Every structure is written in structure tokens, then in C-alpha cells.
Structure 1
Amino acid sequence: MQLLQNTLQNIQGADMKTREQARKRIDALCKPPGSLGKLESIAVQLSGITGQLYPLVDKKVIIVCAADHGVCEEGVTTNPQDVTVFQTLNFPQGGTGVCAIANITNAKVVTVDVGVKEEIPHGAGVIINKIKYGTDNIAKGPAMSKEEAIQAIEVGIHVATEEIAKGANVLGTGEMGIGNTTPSAAILAVLTGCDPIEVTGFGAGVGNGGIAHKAAVIKKAIEVNQPDPQDGLDVLAKVGGLEIGAMTGIILGAAVHRKPVVIDGFISTIAALIAYKLEPKVKDYIIPSHASEEPGAKIAAALLGIEPMLHMNMRLGEGSGAALAFPILDAACSMMNNMVTLEEAMQLLAK
């Protein structure tokens, strides 16, 4: 609890002076004002995050948090839970979707077991920070205790801090956990007050009862647990997931160290919403990657007030969207570092 409290207390907002300097420089570059669109706003954000007029994000790390979900007992997915452990072991081997994309963006992928149902062997290349063997079934009671939710968040803070200490200057959030679109939709339904059917999607493979059954399970979970929508920690503990908590911690950890954090799709955005509930200033550090195909993703992004930069019809998760977005951040930095202003160009030509 102390790590979480200290982190929340030490998060500061973006450097507004450097943001303004970046905006003025971008407007003075050799191009029509606003002609590089979102690239310009990303560059301004990166300058505000880092406090550097000429930012650099060349040490990229995606942290994939893995955990299982007791709600799978309710038949919300067709995928067997052993896929979670299989894929968790596959990340260090480089065989997953996010790894394939990370390869071309020069990003490191780090995998953390925060709640996989089975034992992950030591020496498999996975960081073992297991809090419990999957969450409990949210249709019957809380996913975890408040203390376990705090532990999950603190795992994320700790791993993010370790990677930053090793040199990472931009983080990406990723996850692995069969059934995790169900708690994600449950969290969103609580925070918006909407009917679960509005935010419930196919996920990685909806169960035999279809989306209607999945939404009914979510509705039951909310009725059974009565999470307080004003208390992000209560919502996470009652209807959330361990990997959602860990990603929340990654976002908080990036913010306290003034590093940008690129979030993936639906589930990562839900973690960002929990982080925002705990400390609104984290929003300054969040860079959304892609618009997930999950129906709740657009609602979650709107609730947080962010706009994903990519529309690729993706819904894989794993941090794949974050990996794909990294080159755009590189381009924004290159714009700041390599383009010249009109005045500078005239001086160069005059030599």
C-alpha cells in the first residue's frame, strides 16, 4: 500500500512551459500550420511529458501482464484457460503477435505473471509476481480483495520502475488472460452506468450463449458485488482482473517517472481509466495507440477523453497496438529534432 500511496502523491502534471515552447516551434517549422496533424500533438505531448523540447523515445519496452479469470466458469468464452499459460510462455520465445510487431519497432517485450492459474516455471523468461492463481468468479463474489488489488497495481509500478531504471524512456501496456474482456466490460459498465450489453463484445471468442449471455453474467456480477463507481480501487477489486491492476500500475509508474506510456486497445484503456480514477494527472502521460474493434473501446476512450491514432480493425491485445504505434512516436520526435524552422532554413541558405 505504501508504494501505491507514494506513487500517487508524487505524480505531477505535464511541463506546460515546455509544451508551449514545443507548440511554438512546431508552428514555426517549414510547413503549413497544422499540416502534420496528430504528429504535431504527439510531439507537443512528448515534450510536456519529458520536459525536453527535443524529446527522444528510443528505448521502448512493452510490459505484458498475464493473469486468469474465475468468471470463465460461466461460459463467457470458447477458449480454454490453458491458452493463458501457453501464450505467457510464448512471449519470451518471441512467437506472439506483439513480439512480431515489436521486432520491427526495436521494442523489448517483458512478460509478467501476476495471476496465471498454473505455475510458470522459473527460468522461462517470465517475471514471476503471482498474487493468486487467477481471480475469483465475479458472478459469485468479488474478483479479489482490496489488498490483492493494491498488490496487483504495485506489481505494475515495480516492474515499470525497474525497466525505466534500465533505460526505458517509453513504455507500452499489454496483457494476456483468457476471459479478460468480461471484467473489462464490467468495469466500464460500472463507470458509465450503462447497460452491460452496450459495452460487451466478442472478445477472443464468445461462449455458446453469445454476447447476450456474456452481458447477463456481467450484469449479475455488478448486482452481486455492488462496486462503487466513484472508487476505482473498489471497482477493480470487485469486478476487475489482476492483469488490469498491473497495467494500472504500469501507467502510474510511467507517470511518476515522467515517461510516456502507450496503451493498447480495450483492456489497456480500462486500466487507464482505473489509473485516472486514482490520479487524474496520469492522463498527461497516456498516449492511445489504436481503436479496438471491441464495442466498449470507443466508449472507454471517450470517457477518458483520448483519441486513438490508428484504425486498423485490430482486437488482439497483448500490447500489439502499442508496438505498432511506436514508429509514429519516433516520427514525432524526428520532426522536432530534424525539421528546421523557416528562419533556420533562411540562415542555412544564406551561408
Structure 2
Amino acid sequence: MSQSWWQAPCQVADEAVRERALARQQQLTKPTGALGQLEALAVQLAALQGRERPSIEQVHISIFAGDHGVVAEGVSAYPQAVTVQMLSNFVGGGAAISVLAKQLGASLEVLDLGTVEQGQSLPGVQRLQLGPGTANFSQGPAMGAAQLAAALAAGRDSVLGAKAQGCQLFIGGEMGIGNTTAAAALACWLLKCPALDLAGPGTGLGRAGVQHKAQVVEAALALHHGQIQTPIQALQYFGGFEIAALTGAYLACAQQGVVALVDGFICSVAALFAVQLNPACHAWLLFAHSGAEPGHQRVLQALKAQPLLDLGLRLGEGSGAALAVPLLRLACSLHNDMATFAEAAVADRPA
């Protein structure tokens, strides 16, 4: 398969089903538009799934993990050892996303794309090992072209596996100490924003730490300015293995006709790059929440996204997306199971 597989056409929504779903909404026992965004969600899901009565029962969550060489610049409040330690927590059931996946009845997959502590083999964790984390992008490209292609393909393959198991909704999550710095650099390059506008506390940096992170990002942007002309090059120079995998996953979702629910800042940056690489994939992306990381707002604006929740979240792991799943399920239930005016023998509004 060509390395430019992501340019292949995306699936398209079924407009005839959209019209029938809209017509059903008009007949349900409520004032028109009374359920607000929930009505639009149900109709959108119906069109994307090609069925007048959509369903979000089969949920798959893939957590992509990778370490970041830029941590050497002192941009994180936590050591890199935490990345692998959290992988153990994910498969052991103790992480937030593990608890949420269990409550949702969702399948949970954990992929180690490349961590510094390579010697540890964890039951339940798929080890791809594209390298001992990325290189320090303050000194050179974060990854080679072959590593980038492999990371993108890892995201695609995760979606293909999920679809084969009947997945109706795909959630991508991430784990990687330093990945808010990588995401900020990527967003700054694409949106032409100063780093201070997009750099945030990540895992808990104070004001001085955030300012230092912004300085590191600005210096790296200046260093690589002449070498980067395209989004795919920016991913290679600034991205993380997990960010590239998320980008590949969102592209594959659109190509395979699987709805994707996008989590927080890092996932939204990956989604922004996916849309840059193949604009048609945007139709398959739903946005779970408006997070507390400062750069998230700018990225959501660039995506013209309407996030479902606003809870001040900044955990990552796909946790915000998982929290939004019950809302999607309820939107489907209301659309599918409410009675029409005729069925309930309730007088409709005059024509």
C-alpha cells in the first residue's frame, strides 16, 4: 500500500437517510428543535451510518503511546518513565480510561508505538517499537520518514481491526510525557500562532514552566522553518508517534465509514492534521469536549467544531471522548424510541 494511502477517497454520508431522519425528528412528540444539538447529532449519525435509526452500542477505544525526545528540554512536570508505567495501569484497569471503557462496555486496545523503556513487555500491550521515542525536535526532525509512515499505518490498522469487530464508534486516546509540547508545536506551525498562545500547563507546569515550553517551541519552529512546507513534513519534524497514529486513525475512520469521536487538545491537533491531509475526513469527526488546555480552543475554532461537553478536562487518554459516549447513545435513543404524534395520539402543531 502506498505511503499516501491517506489521500484515498473518504466515505460519504447518505443524504437520503439524512432527509428521512430529519423528517422523523419533525414527527416526534416535542416542539421542533426542542432537543437542540441532540437532534442534530442523531440526524448526523443516521446519515453517516446509512440507517434512519442510528446506534452507538459497539464502541472501540485505542490508546496510542509514545515518548518524546523534546522532554530533554525540561518541558514536562513528570519523568518519561511515567509513559510505560501508565501503560501497565491501562491494561491493569486502574486508569481513568480503563474505568470508563468498562462502564461503557467498550473494547480497549493499548499500543506502545515507541517508548524509552523498551525492555519491558506488558501483557495486553501491543508493542510496535518504532524507536525509543521520537528524537528531540529542538535539534532535528522528531522522526524519520519511515517511522512517520509506520505510525500513520498503525492508526489505520487499529481502525481496520475495530471495524472488522463491528465498531460503530472509534475513540483514539494518547499517552506520552511531553506530547502537549509536540501538539503545541504542530498547532503553531499550522495556525501560524505564537507559542505562548497555544502552550499550556500539560501535566501541571506553573507559569514559568509554560513560558519555558513556549520558548522551546518557538526556537524549534525557527530552527526548522526552511525545511517544512507541508503538513506531512510538519508531522515528521514535530509530531509524536502517537499523534501521527491518531492522525492515521481519523483518516482511516473516514475512509472506512466509521464515526470517530475526538478527545482533547492532542487528539484535536491530530484531527486538524488529518483534515489538512484529506479534507473530506472532517465529516466523520465528532468532537467530545472543550478542554482546559489553552491551545484546545484555538484548534477547535480552526476545525469549526461544536464540542459536546465543557467540563474543564485535561487528562487525555481518550477520557473526555469516553465521557461523551452516553450523550451520543441518549441522542440515538431519543431519536429512535420517542413516539411520533400519530403513534401517541397527541395533537400535532397546525400545518
The TM-score by the shorter chain falls in which range?
over 0.9
Distance 1:45 1:271, change over 3 A: same
Partner in structure 1 of residue 340 of structure 2: 341
Q: 5+ unaligned residues in a row in structure 1: which ranges?
A: none
How far apart, CA to CA, are the structure 1 residues paired with 2:136 and 2:42?
43
Bigger shift: residues 278-287 or 218-227: 218-227
Partner in structure 1 of residue 349 of structure 2: none
Q: Quote the offset at 1:79 in angstroms.
A: 0.3
Partner in structure 1 of residue 21 of structure 2: 22
Aligned length in residues = 347
How far apart, CA to CA, are the structure 1 residues paired with 2:309 and 2:209?
28
- The TM-score, its normalising length taken from structure 2, stands at 0.94
Q: Quote the offset at 1:12 in angstroms.
A: 2.4
How far apart, CA to CA, are the structure 2 residues paired with 1:319 and 1:211?
23
How far apart, CA to CA, are the structure 1 residues paired with 2:339 and 2:186?
46
Question: What does residue range 109-124 of structure 1 map to in structure 2 within 5 Å?
Answer: 109-119=108-118, 121-122=120-121, 124=123
2:73 paired with 1:74: yes
Distance 1:229 1:261, change over 3 A: farther
Q: 5+ unaligned residues in a row in structure 2: which ranges?
A: 347-351
Partner in structure 2 of residue 243 of structure 1: 242
How far apart, CA to CA, are the structure 1 residues paired with 2:206 and 2:135?
19
Distance 1:68 1:335, change over 3 A: same
How far apart, CA to CA, are the structure 2 residues paired with 1:212 and 1:307?
29
Check the 8 A contact 1:146/1:233 in 2, yes or no: no
Partner in structure 2 of residue 271 of structure 1: 270
Check the 8 A contact 2:11/2:256 in 1, yes or no: no
2:334 paired with 1:332: no
**Partner SS state of residue 345, structure 2:** helix
After superposition, give the CA deviation of every residue in 1:240-270 in whole Å (9 maximum; x if it has no partner): 1110001111111211121111111000000
- Report the residue type matching 1:266 in the other structure: F
Check the 8 A contact 1:62/1:108 in 2, yes or no: yes
Check the 8 A contact 2:88/2:122 in 1, yes or no: no
**Partner SS state of residue 173, structure 1:** strand
How far apart, CA to CA, are the structure 1 residues paired with 2:15 and 2:250?
20
After superposition, give the CA deviation of every residue in 1:151-177 in whole Å (9 maximum; x if it has no partner): 111100001111210222111110000
Question: What does residue range 194-343 of structure 1 map to in structure 2 within 5 Å?
Answer: 194-206=193-205, 209-226=208-225, 231-343=230-342
Distance 1:341 1:27, change over 3 A: same
Q: Quote the offset at 1:16 in angstroms.
A: 2.4
Distance 1:231 1:100, change over 3 A: same
Partner in structure 2 of residue 138 of structure 1: 137
Partner in structure 1 of residue 185 of structure 2: 186
Check the 8 A contact 2:114/2:132 in 1, yes or no: yes
Partner in structure 1 of residue 167 of structure 2: 168
Q: Quote the offset at 1:88 in angstroms.
A: 1.1
Q: Once the two structures are aligned, what percentage of the paired residues are identical?
A: 38
- The TM-score, its normalising length taken from structure 1, stands at 0.94
Runs in 1 of length 4+ with deviation above 6 angstroms? 227-230
